[in-house]
Homo-oligomer: A and B are copies of this chain.
Amino acid sequence: MKRSELPALGVGRTPDPPYYAVIFTSQRSEVDDGYHEMAERMEELAQRQAGFLAMDSARGPDGIGITVAYWKDEESIKKWKQHVEHLQAQREGRQRWYRSYQVRIAKVERAYGFDTR
């Protein structure tokens, strides 16, 4: 069985480094209206962009969330940032859904893992 045919793990699969990570750390506002639809739509849309590799996301009960999207190169990241529907989501995010966020663009140099299966 090839690695790519293994069942999905719930933790994003990526090729061997180097590749890029966009680390999005956010604190939500109290506004829920439209948030979940937007988040779902952005995830779906990101996955269809050229250079997209994988995405992991978690948000705890304290409202702090981390989403890490993995991309082939910086060019793919720049294009996704400028995607017209994504630009609209970024604007609305600042106006309504997030109290604060940080975006960090990082080059993944090494990776290793552990899996009980």
Contacts and interface: CB of A to CB of B under 8 A. Distances in A.
Interface of A: 9-12, 14, 17, 21, 23, 25-27, 29, 56-60, 62-66, 68, 94, 98-117
Contacts of A27: 9-11
A25 B55 CA distance: 11
Contacts of A111: 102-105
B103 A112 contact: yes
Copies in the complex: 2
Given A58-B58, A102-B11, A94 B110 contact: no
B110 A105 contact: yes
A46 to B, nearest CB: 16
Contacts of A26: 11
